[in-house]
A and B are shown apart, each in its own frame.
Chain A
Amino acid sequence: MKVRCPDCDGEIDVPDDAIAGEIVSCPDCGQEYEVYFEDGELKLKPAEMVKEDWGE
């Protein structure tokens, strides 16, 4: 499905099988968003930035 980038209004293509926590990025401005669901509705919020303790 297509979702508008909250930052630049670009068109973000979100896969139909996207799950909560999945990261999508805006092809126009590059901003990364995380998919989440509210009352069954797919929404986007700014993704967490890489933190100091991230890894394997």
Chain B
Amino acid sequence: MVKVVVVYDRVRYEEKALQRAGERLGVTVSLVDVKDSFIDITKGDVNPEVLKGDVIIQRCVGHYRSLYLTAILESMGIPVINPFQTALICGDKLLTTIALRRAGIPTPKTYVAFTPTGALKALSELGYPAVFKPVVGSWGRLVALVRNEETAKIVIEHREHLYPLYQIYYIQEYVDKPGRDIRCFVVGDEVVAAIYRYAPPGEWRSNTALGGRAVKMDVNEEIEELSLKAAKAVGAHVLGVDALESKDGLLIHELNSVTEFRNAAPATGVDIAGKIVEYAVKLAKR
């Protein structure tokens, strides 16, 4: 019988939902808190013992923890949802944009600069308003909407005093969205659900982590095709695809390799956790 191991560092809705799905489907789903453990990475075989399974679902909330742990587990020969390459690309907005562009997936116009001078030059060509995003980060954290040069200089000045990763200036056109964006869920080669995320009052970002409201979206051909294409482009098994509705059609702007679905599951009525567990079993048998 297949054993699915879910690795985590903080128990959220999703981890419990995966465990409940396992119970419902008669699949052994073992939850392992990896935060305080240690691993001999020169050993070659899986350790510690609790990580031994046929497939791993990576659920760590800490991106770097998650990324490096996946690298280790993969090196020991266990399939991980998602693979290291997928996590690496999706965890970095710049690498994501490159992957999307190469796959021919429409994405917002994005400039990258490496100094304040370069960033201001990029902005004068891109125009205002524009959006500054840290290349690594989530939940809308430190994503800044900049309406003029004065504000841009303030954001840049602050960034210059942060860790060097924040001085990779990833600047994106502001897409005038209808007060919402889209999160679409891919499991295997299937789009299982999609939601609109409405920005809360007084906030332009629509991340549910910032209080954005989830409403079911009927999956149409456009979002389905783009999401599956995106998942394929980054080699994802399970993926949260973020899309913006622009006047020229959908633009894919971010991909999430450890996607949360606590708001989407009740809003859509789809058993996303169950779909993931079923897929994990299939992957283990492959």
Query: Is B one of A's binding partners?
Result: yes
Q: Which A residues contact B (CB, under 8 angstroms)?
A: 19-23, 34, 36, 47-48, 51-56
Measured CB to CB, the nearest residue on chain B to A45 is B36
In the complex, are the beta carbons of A20 and B136 less than 8 A apart? no
Interface residues of B: mostly helix, strand, loop or mixed? loop
Q: Which residues of B contact A34 (CB under 8 A)?
A: 10
Q: A53-B136, A53-B137, A54-B138 are in contact. Are A23 and B64 (CB under 8 A)?
A: no
Q: Which residues of A contact B260 (CB under 8 A)?
A: 56
Q: Which residues of A contact B256 (CB under 8 A)?
A: 55-56
Give how many A-B residue pairs fall within 8 Å (CB-CB): 51
In the complex, are the beta carbons of B33 and A51 less than 8 A apart? no
In the complex, are the beta carbons of B31 and A56 less than 8 A apart? no
How many positions in chain B have a CB within 8 Å of any CB in the partner chain?
Answer: 24
How far does the Cβ of A50 sit from chain B's closest Cβ, in whole Å? 9
Q: A51-B62, A55-B63, A56-B260 are in contact. Are A19 and B136 (CB under 8 A)?
A: no
Measured CB to CB, the nearest residue on chain B to A52 is B137
Q: 4 closest Cβ contacts across the A-B interface? A: A55-B138, A56-B256, A21-B33, A53-B63
List residues 16-52 of chain B with CB under 8 A from any CB of chain A: 31, 33, 35-36
| A to B CB contacts below 8 Å, 13 in the list | A19-B31, A21-B8, A36-B33, A53-B64, A53-B136, A53-B137, A53-B138, A54-B61, A55-B137, A56-B139, A56-B257, A56-B258, A56-B260
State in angstroms the CA–CA spacing of A56 and B209 once bound together.
10
In the complex, are the beta carbons of A55 and B11 less than 8 A apart? no
State in angstroms the CA–CA spacing of A49 and B139 once bound together.
15
Q: Which residues of B contact A55 (CB under 8 A)?
A: 61, 63, 137-139, 141, 209, 256, 258
State in angstroms the CA–CA spacing of A56 and B240 once bound together.
9
Q: A19-B31, A21-B35 are in contact. Are A53 and B11 (CB under 8 A)?
A: no
In the complex, are the beta carbons of B33 and A23 less than 8 A apart? no
How far does the Cβ of A56 sit from chain B's closest Cβ, in whole Å? 4
Q: Which residues of B contact A20 (CB under 8 A)?
A: 33
User: Which of B31, B61, B256, B258 has its CB near the most chain A CB atoms (within 10 A)?
Assistant: B61
List residues 127-146 of chain B with CB under 8 A from any CB of chain A: 136-139, 141
Q: Which residues of A contact B268 (CB under 8 A)?
A: none
How far does the Cβ of A46 sit from chain B's closest Cβ, in whole Å? 13
Q: Which residues of B contact A22 (CB under 8 A)?
A: 11
How far does the Cβ of B231 sit from chain A's closest Cβ, in whole Å? 15
